[in-house]
């Protein structure tokens, strides 16, 4: 099955209810386990500046998390969170945990309480599938705090009324991570409109932020992308969504994105001019940009997916990916944007309707050459999907399409395949790996020195980690 579409925010990954992942007896600083064996130090694999945000228990192995969507009785959708710890041998199915309340994304990682362990943020849905929404029910952000024994039980973020955590960022540069609530609605006359808020960190273990500040983002409801796009030590925010329509207006097949950009500062987010190159409309609406350092200059870039070629011959939503490079003057003010699609020389395939090349993409060094590589999903390729690796150019100029390699579902005997983000170092060898979701489970493509994958991909069965097989 394919999950319903929902906006994706920066940093990817999430949490859930009841128990956390069991630890493996490692020391609090992650340098040795109970046998005294040295373990690799945690690393940054998700585009943020703080180290080790892929590793919940600091054992030196990044941990995988996904939201699994499947149909409950009556045809309604139910969401579950699955956590699979990393290990020297790859994904450790024996320690996998499934949280079975109704949770959804975006899945966010970061050290919210400042204890040195990465925490996980998810959204608790207001009602269970097939049941009517109870009066006063609202979406709630929940935090699973990390620790030497893995993730703990979910704790609700303390905030009156609905709180939709769409991004985690340090918007005022104080060293504490903040949660960004997008609010609801964009029109002043909308009676259901709810302004957004910022829950400033650090957070207490009871879910209480240091302070809660109302913030009108002046953008349509949709997704939020966070990152230090200006390299000044403050995280910036980009909101992107399809604008609402008035009663006498018919929405077109190609809605115009409503977007807003905020520059981080010591006083919090400040409205700023929109970056150029946000051509991310598709037939179904707007794709939320992701973020990562695509050229290795230390400044986060915007990875903007979009519909791409639209013609009677090629169809709608063939897909394209635009890299809007971060710069001191703001994203798009430095080097020229780069656009990739399946017509770009060196990239396998050709542009066809509904391929959606570039719908989801991320960065990480999978071949250990010191240059970030780009992984791009094409979910509609041959109705089964593929992901494509664009290695980083050796001159530091960014992705090199001439050395691209595509990884198709059929090659691995799967009906579908999708690379997940962020790229993580699952096996602790200092190389970023790719975990791909398939109907049969999780395929681990290990990174390696000058080679990707370093060895044949390893499948961890869906049932072994508490996932349902999807046909």
Residue 132: predicted pLDDT: 63
Question: What are the b/e assignments for 358-392, b being 16+ CB within 10 Å?
Answer: bbbbbbbbbbbeebbbbbbbbbbbeebbbbbbbbb
- The alpha carbon of 378 is separated from its chain's Cα centroid by a whole number of angstroms, namely 16
pLDDT, averaged in runs of 10, over the chain (471 residues): 30 28 28 31 34 84 88 64 94 90 84 95 77 69 94 92 92 96 64 81 98 85 89 94 53 54 96 86 80 95 85 74 95 94 93 88 93 94 94 93 96 95 94 95 94 94 79 39
Report the alpha-carbon distance of residue 171 to residue 165 in Å, rounded.
Answer: 14
Q: How many residues does the chain have?
A: 471
pLDDT at site 221: 65
pLDDT for res 173: 96
pLDDT for the residue numbered 257: 44
CA–CA–CA angle 409, 414, 420 (5° rounding): 60
User: How much is the pLDDT for 355?
Assistant: 87
Q: Where are the beta strands (DSSP E) in 12-131?
A: 64-71, 77-84, 86-87, 90-91, 97-99, 103-110, 119-124
* Residue 179 pLDDT: 97
Q: pLDDT at position 314, please?
A: 60
Q: Could you tell me which of 270, 284, 374, 272 has the C-alpha nearest to residue 322?
A: 374
Asked if 128 and 51 count as a contact pair (C-beta separation under 8 A), the reply is no
């Amino acid at each position: 099955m394919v999950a319903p579409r929902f906006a994706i925010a920066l940093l990817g990954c999430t949490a859930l209810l009841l128990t956390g992942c069991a630890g493996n007896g490692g020391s609090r600083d992650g340098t040795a386990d109970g046998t005294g064996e040295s373990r690799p130090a945690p690393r940054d694999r998700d585009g943020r500046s703080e180290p080790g945000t892929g590793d919940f228990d600091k054992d030196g192995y990044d941990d995988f998390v996904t939201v699994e969507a499947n149909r409950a009785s009556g045809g309604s959708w139910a969401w579950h969170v699955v956590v699979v710890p990393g290990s020297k041998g790859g994904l450790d199915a024996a320690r996998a945990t499934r949280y079975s309340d109704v949770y959804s994304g975006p899945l966010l990682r970061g050290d919210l309480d400042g204890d040195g362990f990465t925490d996980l943020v998810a959204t608790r849905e207001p009602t269970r599938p097939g049941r009517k929404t109870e009066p006063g029910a609202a979406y709630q952000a929940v935090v699973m705090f990390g620790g030497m024994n893995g993730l703990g039980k979910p704790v609700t973020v303390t905030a009156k009324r609905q709180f939709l955590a769409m991004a985690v960022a340090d918007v005022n540069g104080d060293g504490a991570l903040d949660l960004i609530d997008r609010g609801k609605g964009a029109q002043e006359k909308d009676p259901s409109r709810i302004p957004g808020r910022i829950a400033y960190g650090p957070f207490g273990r009871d879910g209480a932020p240091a302070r809660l500040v109302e913030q009108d983002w002046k953008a349509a409801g949709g997704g939020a992308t966070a990152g230090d796009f200006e390299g000044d030590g403050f995280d910036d925010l980009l909101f992107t969504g399809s604008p609402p329509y008035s009663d006498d207006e018919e929405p077109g097949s190609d809605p115009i994105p409503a977007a807003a950009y905020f520059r981080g500062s010591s006083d919090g987010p400040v409205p700023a001019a929109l970056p150029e190159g946000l051509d991310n409309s598709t037939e179904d609406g707007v794709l939320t940009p992701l973020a990562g350092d695509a050229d290795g200059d230390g400044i986060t870039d915007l990875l903007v997916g979009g519909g791409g070629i639209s013609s009677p011959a090629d169809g709608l939503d063939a897909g394209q990916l635009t890299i809007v490079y971060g710069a001191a003057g703001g994203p798009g003010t430095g080097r020229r944007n780069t656009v990739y699609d399946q017509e770009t020389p060196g990239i396998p395939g050709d542009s066809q309707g509904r391929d959606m090349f570039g719908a989801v993409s991320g960065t990480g060094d999978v071949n250990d050459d010191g240059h970030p590589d780009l992984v791009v999903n094409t979910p509609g390729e041959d109705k089964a999907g593929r992901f494509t690796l664009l290695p980083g150019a050796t001159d530091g100029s960014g992705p090199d399409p001439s050395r691209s390699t595509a990884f198709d579902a059929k090659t691995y005997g799967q009906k579908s395949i999708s690379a997940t983000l962020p790229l993580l170092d699952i096996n602790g060898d200092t190389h970023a790996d790719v975990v791909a979701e398939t109907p049969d489970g999780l395929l681990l493509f290990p990174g390696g020195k000058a080679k990707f994958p370093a060895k044949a991909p390893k499948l961890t069965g869906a049932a072994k980690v508490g996932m349902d097989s999807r046909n």
